[in-house]
């Protein structure tokens, strides 16, 4: 491990390890993800039937693959939003973070990835297995989609973090950032393709979604993992993720530099 990476890897591992202390939360997350998976499957399967067996390029088996992959990845890409950074600013705990010889954004990224890799390791497979046993689903049989898919998932998790981070930092300008965070959560979950695949959006909404980083967070990992997009098209989609990663990271850094002047660390 290069010395420059040591702190980040440590923070990531520590955050991962801390999650293992909350196993009831894992069970709770799994139950929620699976329950909503069945609701979504019922709705979307009915839609495919009503459309005569195929809608927006999805047949029955690729639709249930979408449903269970989206539910399995939900914990990893944290579309529920993050309030941790904003809360740490509000309570003044952020002072501890600033007192360390580390970049703030990268510290939070490491902790976020650690937490969400734990979610990935515990919450991806069970919904897929349950889906395979109940509704049946089709996944690729070659290694390629899984390798590129793993990269797409990591990129999706990172873009998700940078987006949530930026929203939290905007909170430096607001007395109470909760409203903004909730608004962001609603918009991002929808445009990321959590409820229905982005491909099923009407034309204008599809275009709008593609002008945001949100499909890169969830839709692209699902599309690559499920083999819905392959080859050059899949590589292009991952390149778009890298683009959004750079954009969201830069916005977060810019906001941090500016927001710092506004930062009023509370309390003693």
Partner 1 sequence: MSMRGSAPIIEAEGLTRRFLVRRKGSVRRDTVTAVADMTFSVAAGESVGYIGANGAGKSTTIKMLIGILVPSSGSARTCGLDPLRRRKELARRVGVVFGQRSQLWWDLPVRESFAILGDVHRMPSAAAAARTDELAQQLDMTGYWDTPVRQLSLGQRMRAEIAAALLHSPELLILDEPTIGLDVLSKQRLREFLIAERAAKGTTLLLTTHDMGDIERLCNRVLVVDHGTLAYDGSLPGLAATVGAGRVLVIDLATPTPDLIGIPGVTHLGSEGGGLRQRLALAGDGDQPGAAPSIPVVLAAVSERAELRDLSIEEPDIEDVVRRIYTAAEG
Residues that bind partner 1 (CB under 8 A): 3, 6-7, 9-11, 14, 17-18, 21-22, 92-96, 98-103, 175, 260-261, 263-265, 267-268
Measured CA to CA, the distance from residue 222 to residue 236 in angstroms comes to 14
The residue among 61 and 103 lying less far from partner 1, judged by its C-beta, is: 103
Report in angstroms how near the CB of residue 118 gets to partner 1 at its nearest: 12
Measured CA to CA, the distance from residue 62 to residue 56 in angstroms comes to 11
**CA-CA-CA-CA torsion sign (223, 198, 191, 39):** negative
Report in angstroms how near the CB of residue 216 gets to partner 1 at its nearest: 30
The residue among 163 and 177 lying less far from partner 1, judged by its C-beta, is: 177
Diameter of the chain by CA atoms?
A: 64
Measured CA to CA, the distance from residue 51 to residue 48 in angstroms comes to 5
The residue among 52 and 101 lying less far from partner 1, judged by its C-beta, is: 101
**Which residues partner with 58 through β-bridges?**
55
Report in angstroms how near the CB of residue 183 gets to partner 1 at its nearest: 22
Report in angstroms how near the CB of residue 107 gets to partner 1 at its nearest: 9
The residue among 3 and 52 lying less far from partner 1, judged by its C-beta, is: 3
| Total Cβ atoms within 10 A of residue 154 | 18
Helix/strand/coil percent split, the chain, to 5: 75, 0, 25
Report in angstroms how near the CB of residue 112 gets to partner 1 at its nearest: 15
The residue among 24 and 267 lying less far from partner 1, judged by its C-beta, is: 267
Backbone phi and psi for residue 55, each to the nearest 5 degrees, phi listed first:
-140, 130
């Amino acid at each position: 491990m290069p010395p420059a990476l040591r702190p980040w890897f440590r923070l990531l591992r520590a955050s991962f390890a801390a999650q293992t202390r909350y196993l009831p939360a894992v069970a709770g997350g799994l139950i929620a993800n699976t329950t909503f998976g069945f609701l979504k499957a019922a709705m979307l399967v009915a839609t495919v039937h009503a459309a005569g067996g195929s809608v927006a390029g999805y047949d029955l088996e690729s639709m249930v693959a979408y449903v269970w992959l989206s539910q399995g990845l939900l914990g990893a890409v944290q579309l529920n939003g993050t309030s941790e950074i904003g809360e740490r600013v509000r309570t003044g705990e952020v002072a501890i973070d600033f007192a360390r010889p580390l970049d703030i954004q990268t510290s939070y990224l490491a902790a976020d990835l650690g937490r969400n890799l734990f979610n990935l390791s515990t919450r991806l497979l069970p919904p897929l297995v349950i889906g395979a046993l109940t509704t049946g689903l089709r996944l690729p049989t070659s290694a390629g989609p899984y390798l590129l898919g793993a990269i797409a998932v990591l990129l999706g998790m990172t873009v998700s973090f940078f987006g949530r981070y930026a929203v939290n930092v905007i909170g430096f300008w607001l007395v109470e950032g909760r409203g903004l965070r909730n608004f962001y959560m609603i918009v991002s979950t929808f445009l990321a393709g959590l409820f229905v695949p982005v491909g099923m959006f009407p034309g204008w909404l599809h275009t709008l979604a593609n002008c945001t980083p949100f499909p890169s967070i969830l839709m692209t990992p699902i599309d690559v993992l499920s083999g819905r997009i392959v080859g050059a098209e899949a590589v292009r989609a991952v390149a778009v993720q890298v683009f959004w990663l750079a954009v969201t990271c830069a916005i977060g850094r810019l906001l941090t530099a500016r927001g710092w002047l506004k930062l009023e660390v509370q309390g003693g």
